[in-house]
Structure 1
Amino acid sequence: MSLLNEKVISSASEQTQAVLSFVRAWLRGEETFEIHTSGSTGAPKRIWLTRSQMEASAQATAAALGLEVGMNALVCLPVQYIAGRMMLVRGLVLGLNLIVVEPSSDPLAALPADLSVDFVSFVPLQMKTLLDVALVADDDQLSSEARARALAYRRRLEAMRAILVGGGPISPGLEAQIRQIAAPAYHTYGMTETATHVALRRLNGPQASDRFVPLPGVETGVDERGCLHVRGTMTGGALLQTNDLVALQPDGSFIWVGRWDNVINSGGVKVHVEQVEATIETLAAEQPELGLARRRFFIAGLPDERLGQRVVLVVEGAPLAEDQEAQLLRALIRALPRHHAPRHIQYIDRFAETPTGKIERSSTLKLLE
């Protein structure tokens, strides 16, 4: 492994210190490593992973993506958490050249124009930020400077050999954008306990699918709730049970449905939060006049005396105008099955977030109390 571009690296203060601390520990031969979860599905907690688990994950990723010695890998996620940490491990184990930058919504901005990237892991926000720039290169209204930047981003993305996108759901709009580039892009499924992803879903090209395919050596199954469990060398051979509802396929691949603990029971009807949110994401993109296109939101179940729980849309920022809110609610009723459509909207100035920038739903809902 080599660390490329010392000028870029030295500009990343906290990130650099975390990188050096981990690399030193790895090169000393330490066998266990402490990592904190982000807290997106519960309270943050400490997880201990063994060296062999992390090495197994790196090797499985290399086999799945065709990673080779000498490739350039961009580390643009916080290395205090598992996604960024495992990019370092892949570099150390696989002989990749690591390009480390400070985490930001536009990680390409920090790179010299002549520095190519073969492999990278983004969160959805980063992927969208880059595509919003790259996909407008043909816009006649752009200035020459903006067009040059768009073309440069497009070329850089297209030259990548593998792009991972994880850490949260991918909206239908973002997935449509990803389909416009040829570089292989994958949605990841995994968690801290599995040393990042254990399954990948191709997002673009002829192999694009709604199914997550397990990495080599990973076994999958479901419990009586229909929730996924996995076993592999990256779990230390232990069976790891999740709260993720899936549609398991005969070949072991699966379609992610949503979180078991995110199901709303409204009048006896089970409402899968993630499915409702995906429909609203599509509606918001197709009808910007509804006022949600540039706003964060999520679906929640709030107590209701008659229904047990009622479906509510929680929106970040100032309230919509009364007529616009009414228009939005009518559109949701038309687009969603009965009992799934929110009839009320709650507004919060700013959502609570995890340290990695994910919406912390439970803490956000407490702001309504």
Structure 2
Amino acid sequence: MSSQNYSSSKEGIWLNDRFVSFISIGSNDFPSDISPDELQALHFCQDWLKGSATFIIHTSGSTGLPKSIHLNRDQMIQSALLTGKMLQLQAGDSALVNLNTQYIGGMMMLVRGMVLGLNLWIVPPSLIPLKELPSHLYFDFLSFVPVQLQAVLENMPDRITTLNKAKAILLGGAPVSQGLEKQLQQIEAPIYQTYGMTETLSHVALKRVNGVEKKEYYTTLPGVEITTDERACLVIRAPFTGAQPIVTNDVVKLLSPTTFNWLGRIDNVINSGGIKIQAERIERITEQVLLVSQINRRFFIGSLPHAQLGETVTIFMEGNALSKEAETQLLHSIAVLTNRFEKPTSIVYIPAFLETPSGKIDKPQTIRLYTGL
């Protein structure tokens, strides 16, 4: 935080500008005017301070049906320690908790704070989490979903000085768009895109996305072992994932024992005429074309049934239909950058995408609701 004398997380945490001691948390002595999100965070801290051995958390539902997962305290501690080691965090460093603590990203920020002795400042999740904070505050460690950091850069450009003072900034929960990645280059502090899931207790690998040390690949945390299965999907073994390896549905290209490129989800593979097409690759191309065309729309790549080919690549776009001229130009520009099987054949316009509880686009349900497929 700033040079002001704030109490350590060994003594308590900050709820915006109010300090709540761990003694008060342990005795259920909470402020009367706190928000439901702040109350959720305090209840978790209370359970942690009592020494609870397991914690129940719900997955976001972005890669399948939401489910409950039991997390082990010792494994959560191991994960926090490895993150601290990789990012060189130290006791007394400050951290902002602005993610929903019902999900793994926000919950593990609380755990890292209590395990590493960080000064925690908790604010309710919002689109622009720095908006209500005093301008003199800065933090050593921050974690955002991409849309939050983009909103900060676009609506509060003066806060870049706050971001520049961080030791590390994490971005997770959704892909980093090409447009946002370009904006991130104005930030001096190291920014890392995370790879992980609830089952891996947040991230197991990081990718630097800004500055001269920017990388095109992920690097695993210390102690994490990676291999692939017969589908070319990532298999993870780590001190904090238990005895059994975690088999993912993420198609990757291994570059070394500790680095890999993420290619996409195996369940996002489109089979068109016997050719397997990774939807995420076409999304990156489409995003590039939309950026150049100055079309600011949410979209994703899916498929529609085809009598001869089985499936055809399709763009699902949120909002009203583009003009016929703009649509034709868009499809042509994408076709130039793809082969004849990969190129999208049509655009399906959807008034509003359905979302998961954590705010991600629910692609399967959106397709089912608006196409009946």
TM-score scaled by length of structure 2: 0.91
Contact 2:41 2:101 in 1 (8 A): yes
**Secondary structure, aligned partner of 2:180:** helix
Q: Counterpart in 1 of 2:278?
A: 272
1:309 to 287, 308, 311: 311
Shift of 1:12: 5.5
Shift of 1:294: 1.8
Q: Counterpart in 2 of 1:60?
A: 82
Stretches of structure 2 that go unaligned for 5 or more consecutive residues are: 1-8, 20-30
Q: Counterpart in 1 of 2:227?
A: 221
Answer yes or no: is 1:197 the counterpart of 2:203: yes
Rounded Cα–Cα distance in structure 1 between residues aligned with 2:191 and 2:34: 27
Stretches of structure 1 that go unaligned for 5 or more consecutive residues are: 134-148
1:322 to 321, 324, 337: 324
Answer yes or no: is 1:124 the counterpart of 2:146: yes
Q: Counterpart in 2 of 1:208?
A: 214
Shift of 1:174: 1.3
1:4-15 paired onto structure 2 within 5 Å? 4=14, 6-7=16-17, 13-15=35-37
Q: Counterpart in 2 of 1:242?
A: 248
**Secondary structure, aligned partner of 1:107:** coil
1:344 to 343, 346, 351: 346
Rounded Cα–Cα distance in structure 2 between residues aligned with 1:252 and 1:67: 21
Rounded Cα–Cα distance in structure 2 between residues aligned with 1:262 and 1:49: 28
**Secondary structure, aligned partner of 1:233:** coil
Rounded Cα–Cα distance in structure 2 between residues aligned with 1:103 and 1:337: 42
**Secondary structure, aligned partner of 2:240:** helix
Shift of 1:123: 0.5
Contact 1:164 1:187 in 2 (8 A): yes
Rounded Cα–Cα distance in structure 2 between residues aligned with 1:284 and 1:8: 44
Runs of 4+ in 1 over 4 A off after TM superposition: 8-12
1:172-183 paired onto structure 2 within 5 Å? 172-183=178-189
1:18 to 37, 40, 57: 40
| % same residue | 46
251-260 or 43-52: which moved more? 251-260
Rounded Cα–Cα distance in structure 2 between residues aligned with 1:74 and 1:166: 15
Residues matched between the structures, number? 349
**Secondary structure, aligned partner of 1:4:** strand
Q: Counterpart in 1 of 2:266?
A: 260
Looking at secondary structure, tell me which structure has more helix per residue: 1
Contact 2:137 2:162 in 1 (8 A): no
Q: Deviations over 1:198-234 (max 9, x none)?
A: 0001112232111111101100000011100101111
**Secondary structure, aligned partner of 2:137:** coil
Rounded Cα–Cα distance in structure 2 between residues aligned with 1:335 and 1:154: 35
**Secondary structure, aligned partner of 2:47:** helix
**Secondary structure, aligned partner of 2:194:** strand
Shift of 1:337: 2.2
**Secondary structure, aligned partner of 2:183:** helix
Rounded Cα–Cα distance in structure 2 between residues aligned with 1:172 and 1:315: 18
1:295 to 294, 297, 318: 297
Q: Deviations over 1:221-276 (max 9, x none)?
A: 00011100101111023211001000002233100000011000011111111111
Answer yes or no: is 1:186 the counterpart of 2:192: yes
Q: Counterpart in 2 of 1:143?
A: none
Q: Deviations over 1:126-172 (max 9, x none)?
A: 12112224xxxxxxxxxxxxxxx522x11111111100001011112
Rounded Cα–Cα distance in structure 2 between residues aligned with 1:346 and 1:6: 43
Q: Counterpart in 1 of 2:160?
A: 154
